[in-house]
Structure 1
Amino acid sequence: MPKIIDHDQRRQDIIDVTWQLIVEGGIEAATMREIAARAGFANGALKHYFPGKDAIIKGAYEHSLRGLGDRLAAHVAGKRGLEALEMSIRFTLPVEQEDATAARVLLSFWERCVFSSELDHDYDEHLAEWTTSYLQYLREGREDGDIVTPAPDLQLANEIITMNLGATVTRVVSPARFDAALLEAQVSDYIARLGRRDCP
């Protein structure tokens, strides 16, 4: 009787191996040959599951996003407005070791985006989704009277994303300079400014 192959599980195994290789040695370590060897495939067999390396890298990136998204959804469930916004900002900062690991994968993905229009497009879609969530929380915060700053909501959402991305880069590239307490204080200050009319 022929062996039944779970192709979805094989694809997930390849993604898991790629994710681990990137964590260990960056995107350079995740060569097609090394991915195949670590996953237990013959060289060249990966093409049966992914059209190329970019598709595998995208899978590893989405693996990180799914984990973060699931944990974040659990944290903000039942919350809205300013409370949901603050919780979302704090939760997505790369403070814990698990977050630092995911940040390394993200940084490798950004590097690959520079040379791949397909991946660049995918990341643009992710940023758009991220922005939409923040805009919803900001709108709710204004409805609740907690957010009164005259600064436009789109500007505020982009500031949050910039703060998060900057923290991600610092956490990976210069961990000795990464001060989690200072970053948390910056978030507290940012949230406080949203409730002041004199802070554009």
Structure 2
Amino acid sequence: MPKVIDHDQRRSDIIDVTWGLIVKGGLEAATMREIAAEAGFANGALKHYFPGKDEIIQGTYERALGMMSSGVDQSVDGKRGLEALRAIVYASAPLTPESITAGRVLMSFWERALSNEDLHDSYREHLLSWRSGLATYIAQAREAGEIVTDTPDEQLVDEIVLMNAGANIMSLLAPDLSTPDLLRAHLDAFFTRLTTP
């Protein structure tokens, strides 16, 4: 009887391997040859599961976004206003080894997204969704009297997004200058400013 192959599991395994290669050496390290070798396939066998490298990269990119989104969703579950805003900001910041690794994978994709329309659109959709969530929680907190700063809501959203993107880059390129403790201090100061007249 022929062996039954779980194609979804194989695709997931290939993405796991690609993730590991990107974490170790960036996108350049994730060649089709290396992916196949690490996954234990003959070089051409990957085509049974993905049409080409772009689709493998897209799947790995979506895994990174999914991991970050899942952590954020869990952190804000059942929360509103300032409590939800604080949860989403801290959950999306590079404060743990897992979030720093996910940020490393995402950073590898940012440059590629400039020339790959699918990756670009996928990240832009993620970014717009994130911004929308931030704006909602800021508005809730403002309405509840929890946020009292005169800084406009749109500017607060911009600050959070730019702070997060910068922190992700610094946690990888200069981790000695941007430690989790230092980032927490910056985030704490940001939230103090929101709640101080």
The question of a shared fold, defined as TM-score above 0.5 by the shorter chain, is answered with yes
Q: What stretches of structure 1 of length at least 5 have no aligned partner? A: none
- Deviation of residue 107 (structure 1)? 1.0
Indicate the residue corresponding to 1:140 in structure 2: 140
Per mean C-alpha deviation after superposition, the further-off stretch among 22-31 and 149-158 is 149-158
Q: What stretches of structure 2 of length at least 5 have no aligned partner? A: none
Counterpart-to-counterpart distance in 2, 1:155 and 1:50 = 41
Indicate the residue corresponding to 1:115 in structure 2: 115
- Deviation of residue 48 (structure 1)? 2.6
Structure 1, residues 89-109: CA drift from partner, whole Å, max 9, x if none? 112111222222112111111
Q: Size of the alignment, in residue pairs?
A: 197
Indicate the residue corresponding to 1:43 in structure 2: 43
Amino acid at match of 2:179: D
- Deviation of residue 46 (structure 1)? 1.9
- SS in structure 2 opposite 1:44? helix
Indicate the residue corresponding to 1:2 in structure 2: 2
- Deviation of residue 49 (structure 1)? 2.0
- SS in structure 2 opposite 1:178? coil
Indicate the residue corresponding to 1:20 in structure 2: 20
- SS in structure 2 opposite 1:88? helix
Indicate the residue corresponding to 2:106 in structure 1: 106
- Contact 2:138–2:147, Cα closer than 8 Å, also in 1: yes
Indicate the residue corresponding to 2:67 in structure 1: 67
- Contact 1:54–1:119, Cα closer than 8 Å, also in 2: no
Report percent identity of matched pairs. 53
- Deviation of residue 150 (structure 1)? 3.2
Counterpart-to-counterpart distance in 1, 2:36 and 2:49 = 11
Amino acid at match of 1:39: A
- Deviation of residue 44 (structure 1)? 2.1
Structure 1, residues 116-171: CA drift from partner, whole Å, max 9, x if none? 12211111111011111101111111121112333332221121011001000001
Counterpart-to-counterpart distance in 1, 2:80 and 2:195 = 15
Deviating 4+ runs (over 3 angstroms): none
Structure 1, residues 26-69: CA drift from partner, whole Å, max 9, x if none? 11110011111111222122223223222211211221222222
- Normalization by structure 2: what TM-score? 0.93
* Pairwise CA RMSD: 1.5
Does residue 1:173 correspond to 2:173, yes or no? yes
Indicate the residue corresponding to 1:29 in structure 2: 29
- Normalization by structure 1: what TM-score? 0.91
Amino acid at match of 1:96: T
Amino acid at match of 1:164: N
- Contact 2:67–2:102, Cα closer than 8 Å, also in 1: no
Amino acid at match of 1:103: G
Indicate the residue corresponding to 2:81 in structure 1: 81
Counterpart-to-counterpart distance in 2, 1:132 and 1:109 = 22
